[in-house]
Amino acid sequence: MLKLTILSILLLFAVPQLQAAGGQEGLGQGLVNPGFHDKPAWFKNSFLDLQEDLQEAAEEDKRVILYFHQDGCPYCAKLLNENFSIKAIVDKTQEAFQLVAINIWGDREVTGLSGEATTEKAFAASMKVMYTPTMLFLNEQGRRVLRINGYYAPHRFMAALDYVAGREERKLSFRDYLARIQPVASTGKLHRESNYLQSPMDLRRPTGTDRPLLVLMEMKQCPPCDELHQEILPQSALQESLQGFDVALVDIWSGEELITPDGKRMKATKWAESLGIQYAPSMLFFDGSGREVFRSEAYLRSFHTHAVIDYVGSGSYRDQPNFQRFVQARADEMRARGEVVDLMK
């Protein structure tokens, strides 16, 4: 009996060490593990019974944020290390929300929003999580009121917190809310290149072509749009990848009329609204038939911007529905060729 007790105690201390070691396995040099062990202590220590989490949050007049992450995700690390090091963001999050972390590759049991038993990775797949971090903001009934796909810079992330905490979704869309509250320094112009499709825009795909279409959803007051066009897209490797696309730049606030890929005639701002565009720049990809096949709607640096373009341009989205697996394989291939992979370059 004594031996059994001692063995139990040893196992109790050994298991966390094994889990911590396993969590770091396979991470590339210079990457950090933003998973369970590194998240702030004030995150909710949830048993992942989401109905129970919603009830407990409502009792405190709070809402729930589901934070989807993965080990080795640099944008998750940026969110945790930068956004959640800002006192105003931490105070607002703790005051108005309970934040539940879910690993998109995890095997922990989850009781879903409808009471179904599943796992972290299956639940993430059912929520169509393609980027990390992804954050789902839920109201008291468990309905999604805002979704953030990817990393948001602190000022925009704070706006998202204020929007949901203030129940502003009852009055206006997040897109309209941002337009109302967020004057920011930028060039104040659109970066429509001469080789882009020009106005009046007809985005229907020509008959008999498989050439994909990339639509850049942007606006004039948009520092990330400036960064995309001034620092990222001019790179020679990206320019080469873009040769396989027709490219159109659409001002999401423009009243200019265009013809959408599916043949509808409408104003640009109405089209952006119908597509649920809430972040600029967003990149929408359409195949040769005019069907949307993928989109990116978050802040990305060069590596991931190039990965998104290659994911569609190479046709890999047809065979590999999981973008994260494509990114991992692409990075491995680059390292095998002796190339330096800098995820935040």
Question: Could you write out the three-class secondary structure of the chain?
Answer: CHHHHHHHHHHHHHHHHHHHHHHHCCCCCCCCCCCHHHCCCCCCCCCCEHHHHHHHHHHCCCEEEEEEECCCCHHHHHHHHCHHHCHHHHHHHHHHEEEEEEECCCCCEEECCCCCEEEHHHHHHHCCCCCCCEEEEECCCCCEEEEEECCCCHHHHHHHHHHHHCCHHHCCCHHHHHHHHCCCCCCCCCCCCCCCCCCCCECCCCCCCCCCEEEEEECCCCHHHHHHHHHHCCCHHHHHHHCCCEEEEEECCCCCEEECCCCCEEEHHHHHHHCCCCCCCEEEEECCCCCEEEEECCCCCHHHHHHHHHHHHCCHHHHCCCHHHHHHHHHHHHHHCCCCCCCCC
* pLDDT over threshold 70, residue 343: yes
CB 246 within 8 A of CB 197: yes
CA distances from 94 to 1, 88, 116, 139, 150 (A): 46, 10, 28, 16, 21
> Do the domains 213-336 and 36-181 match in fold?
yes
* pLDDT over threshold 60, residue 4: no
Domain 36-181 has CATH 3.40.30.10: yes
Q: Note the pLDDT tens digit of each residue in 241-294.
A: 999 999 999 999 899 999 999 999 999 999 999 999 888 899 999 999 999 999
- Extents of the domains making up the chain: 36-181, 213-336
Q: Note the pLDDT tens digit of each residue in 305-330.
A: 999 999 999 999 999 999 999 999 99
Q: Would you place residue 183 in the very low, low, confident or very high pLDDT band (cuts 50, 70, 90)?
A: low
* pLDDT over threshold 50, residue 2: no
- Range in 4-8, 105-109, 193-197, 224-228 the model is least confident about: 4-8
Residue partners of 239: CB distance under 8 A and separation at least 6: 233
Domain 213-336 has CATH 3.40.30.10: yes
Q: How many residues appear in the chain? A: 345
Q: Note the pLDDT tens digit of each residue in 159-181.
A: 999 999 999 999 999 999 998 88
The Cα 205–Cα 275 span in angstroms is: 18
Q: Note the pLDDT tens digit of each residue in 22-75.
A: 333 334 333 344 344 468 889 999 999 999 999 999 999 999 999 999 998 989
